[in-house]
Structure 1
Amino acid sequence: MRAFQALTSEPWAIEPSWLPILAALAQRNHGAPELKAVEGWSKRDYDLFAGPAGRRLEGARYTMVTDGGVAIIPVFGPIFPRANMMTEYSGAASATQLQADHAIALRHPDVGAVMMLYDTPGGAVSGINALADQINAGKKSKYTMSYVSGTAASAGYWLASQGHEIAGERTAMVGSIGVVAAMPKQVEADGDGYLTVEVVSSNAPNKRIDPTTDDGQAKVREMLDAIEAEFIADVARGRGIKAADVPERYGQGGVLVGAAAKAAGMIDKIQSYEASVAALSRMVANQRKVEALKGR
């Protein structure tokens, strides 16, 4: 029950179909789709994403570093503000842990470039703007590529837009720019026959908004619009366009795929993961050659 209350207590920047899935998981609905646990990386994961010489970056939870000096930070599954049961056992990601890993990658001398690797429907709004700010600021010290291996939707695209460039597979899906809130309302007695009645003080009617009324929905939408404005402003900053152009050009809350996303300016390149890592590795090698020449 606490997990469900947490789910419905804050706004989400997530692909719409995922919110009922998370609600079902939070209520331990056994009919909900199973999310695979990510308990660190297996040797196969290292070989697949970082190459045979890849290794976990010292001190990091999620991040790997390739022998070419590319830090790969996977943003997989729904994004939660902090580590919890979902992140530990259900393959989700923690915004605070991603922040910590990203900071380690920026400081580490073995890392010459950063790849944020996305396959996420988005997640909770809390902590996303801070992580977006950190990624945007961090690219001033180390080149940062966002790579979409599957989906970078909603909060995922919020983050992906902050890199120097966005590359992805031909089937990469990006967008779903917008914010949603799920608000429960008890309309009949529970299984034990109890009906909860809440009474608020006279000067605080908005502490308990009724989402089933027009006035209640208007109040909720006012809050969501304020968060969406920050979302849009960050996307515009990251992509170098005007905020007013984001809603019209970037899907109006929907997702765009591959070539359509590139035509709209939502991504920069359609290329394979291997080609993207190779390009970053060459960049790092060239940087190191220049630094070596300067050190002579």
Structure 2
Amino acid sequence: MHLCRAMADFLARAFSLPPVVAVLPLAGVIAPRAAMLGRQPLSVETLGPTISRAFRLRRLAGVALVVNSPGGSAAQSALIAARIRQHAEERKVPVTAFVEDVAASGGYWLACAADEILCLETSLLGSIGVISAGFGFAGLMERIGVERRLYTAGEKKSLLDPFRPAREDDVARLRAIQEALHGRFKAWVRDRRGQRLRAEESELFSGEIWAGERAVALGLADGFGELRATMRARHGERVRFAVFGRVRRPWWSRLLPTPEGLIAAAEERAAWARFGL
């Protein structure tokens, strides 16, 4: 009797299909258009179909977001995170974010789409804020004798024209926009992290960034963990990983850099450089 039961258990294990974890790499700058010398930024357009395919897998035990992003567009961050949550709630599948080098600003927004955030002691997390940067050329234009001619229909149409001195009302308008975006970011973090946050909001939402141990102490992450070891511990050694990549641009569009691509590449480099990467 015991031999028959043991044989039945062995056959069940031998012929049962292993669970599957879908792995979604979220690496790069978050932006609405692809102009980065062959590298597409993270956007709902480039990631949407991939997210859908990941959640349609059979025997799906969970979805892992591998986050490595310095941030970018607030709108695209919100759209991507919302798409992940929609599929997760439809499939009733747990989502875990694994932060690698950095989940900052929009990158942290994406991490918060997960039910759980794990990081490394060397990861950087946070930067819950909004930033805008540019250059002013008003003095240069005057010195080289170039006159700026700008015509608008609507007195508020021009905002912080780099070829004119900054105006107080323009700066005030920009700050109002930033405050609105910051408010939405804070609401998202409150909604997703809830009672797990363990610090004053003045500290959490200051735009500061923290290394992994401090981020866990503040409640911005739940603990430490690496993708494969964590998922094998949870789902067994036989768990399978299905890694999904973004749809790439056609090869001919990646042959030669365009001026727009060079500018985008410089902007991407600057975004990473803010975190020493």
Q: How does 1:88-237 map to 2 (within 5 A)?
A: 89-90=38-39, 92-140=41-89, 141=91, 142-187=93-138, 188-189=140-141, 195-201=147-153, 204-210=154-160, 212-237=166-191
Quote how far apart the aligned CAs of 1:105 are. 1.1
- Displacement of 1:216 in angstroms is 1.6
TM-score by length of 1: 0.64
Partner SS for 2:75: coil
Equivalenced residues, count: 214
- What is the rounded CA distance, in whole Å, between the counterparts of 1:246 and 1:98 in structure 2? 34
Report the RMSD for the aligned CA atoms in angstroms: 3.0
2-structure distance, mates of 1:99, 1:193:
49
- Asked if the contact 1:113–1:284 (Cα under 8 Å) also holds between the matched residues in 2, the reply is no
How many Å apart are 1:184 and its aligned residue? 4.7
SS in 2 for 1:240: helix
In 2, the alpha carbon distance for the partners of 1:96 and 1:161 equals: 20
- C-alpha separation between the residues in 1 aligned to 2:196 and 2:47? 28
1:264 corresponds to: 218
Instruction: Supply the distance in 1 between the matched residues of 2:196 and 2:226 (Cα, whole angstroms).
Output: 29
Q: Whole-Å Cα distance in 1 between the matches of residues 236 and 88 of structure 2?
A: 17
- Summarize the Cα distance change of 1:240–1:208 in structure 2 as closer, same or farther, 3 Å threshold: same
Structure 1 residues 4-23: aligned runs within 5 Å: none
Tell me the amino acid that sits aligned with residue 266 of structure 1: L
8 Å CA contact retained: 1:139, 1:163 = no
Q: Percent identity between the aligned chains?
A: 26
Q: What displacement does 1:114 show?
A: 0.5
Q: TM-score, normalised by structure 2?
A: 0.68
Does the CA contact (< 8 Å) of 1:153 and 1:255 recur in 2? yes
Letter in 2 for 1:161: C
- Which deviates more, 90-99 or 125-134? 90-99
Aligned partner letter, 1:267 = A
Contact 1:247 1:253 (8 Å CA) reproduced? no
Contact 2:160 2:171 in 1 (8 A): yes
Q: Which residue of 2 aligns with 1:5?
A: none
Measured after TM superposition, the shift of residue 241 of structure 1 is: 4.3
Flag the 1:237–1:136 CA change in 2: closer, same or farther, 3 A: farther
Q: 8 Å contact 2:32–2:41 — kept in the other structure? A: no
Which whole-Å CA distance do the structure 1 matches of 2:78 and 2:238 have between them? 28
Closer, same or farther in 2 for the Cα pair 1:207/1:242, shift >3 Å? Answer: farther
Q: Deviations over 1:5-49 (max 9, x none)?
A: xxxxxxxxxxxxxxxxxxxxxxxxxxxxxxxxxxxxxxxxxxxxx
- Runs (5+) with no aligned partner, structure 1: 1-66, 286-296
Q: Is the 8 A contact 2:129 2:205 kept in 1?
A: no
Q: How far 1:94 moved relative to its partner?
A: 3.2
User: Secondary structure at the residue paired with 1:139?
Assistant: helix
Shift, 1:198, TM fit:
0.8
Deviation, 1:70, is 0.8
Are 1:125 and 1:155, in contact at CA under 8 Å, matched by a contact in 2? yes
User: Given that residues 150 and 173 in structure 1 are in contact (C-alpha distance below 8 angstroms), is that contact kept between their aligned partners in structure 2?
Assistant: yes
Q: Which has the higher contact order (CA 8 A, sep 6+)?
A: 2
Q: Which ranges of structure 2 fall in alignment gaps of 5 or more residues?
A: 1-17, 240-277
Q: Secondary structure at the residue paired with 1:207?
A: coil
